[in-house]
A and B are shown apart, each in its own frame.
Chain A
Amino acid sequence: MSAARTIFTLAKFATGIFLGGMALASFAAETPVVGLTIKDHRFIPESIVAPAGQKFILRVQNADNGVEEFESSDLNRERIVRPGASTDIFLGPLSAGAYKFFGEFHPDSARGQLIAK
Chain B
Amino acid sequence: MESIILVVWRECIEAFLIIGILYSFLIREGKGRREINYLWIGVAGGIGLSALLALATLLIQSDLQETQLSAFQTLLLLAAAALMTQMVVWMRRQGPQMKRRLDGDIGSALASGRRYGVLAIAALAVAREGSETVLYIYSLGINADSSGGISVPGAVGLGIGLAALTAWGFAKGFRFLSYRNFFLVTEVVLLFSAAGLLISGVTNLIGMGLVSPLVSNLWNTSFLLDSGSHTGSIVASLTGYRSQPSLTQVLVYLGYWTITLIVLKRVSRNIAPSSRRRAA
Which residues of A does B touch, CB under 8 Å? 3-4, 7-8, 10-12, 14-15, 17-19, 22, 24, 27-28, 57, 64-69, 71-80, 82-83, 85, 87-95, 100, 102, 104-108
Contact = CB atoms under 8 A, between A and B. Distances in A.
A3 B67 contact: no
Contact of A76 (B56, B65, B75, B245): B245
A14 B65 CA distance: 12
A72 B203 CA distance: 12
Contacts of B226: 73
B52 A14 contact: no
A76 B139 contact: no
B228 A73 contact: yes
Shortest 4 CB-CB contacts between residues of A and residues of B: A73-B228, A66-B139, A90-B209, A11-B72
Given A73-B227, A76-B203, 4 more contacts: A17-B71, A64-B143, A77-B207, A105-B139
Given A4-B56, A102-B228, A67 B136 contact: yes
B71 A72 contact: no
A3 B244 CA distance: 38
B53 A18 contact: no
B72 A7 contact: yes
Contacts of B59: 4
Given A73-B227, A92-B216, A14 B74 contact: yes
Interface residues of B, number: 52
17 contacts: A3-B52, A4-B56, A7-B52, A7-B69, A11-B56, A14-B68, A27-B209, A65-B142, A65-B143, A66-B139, A68-B139, A73-B227, A74-B244, A77-B207, A78-B203, A80-B57, A105-B139
Given A10-B72, A65-B143, A76-B217, A87 B228 contact: no
Contacts of A88: 63, 209
Nearest to A104: B7
Contacts of B244: 73-76
B206 interface: yes
A11 B209 contact: no
A11 B203 CA distance: 18
B207 A89 contact: yes
Interface string B171-210: 0000000000000000000000000000000010111111
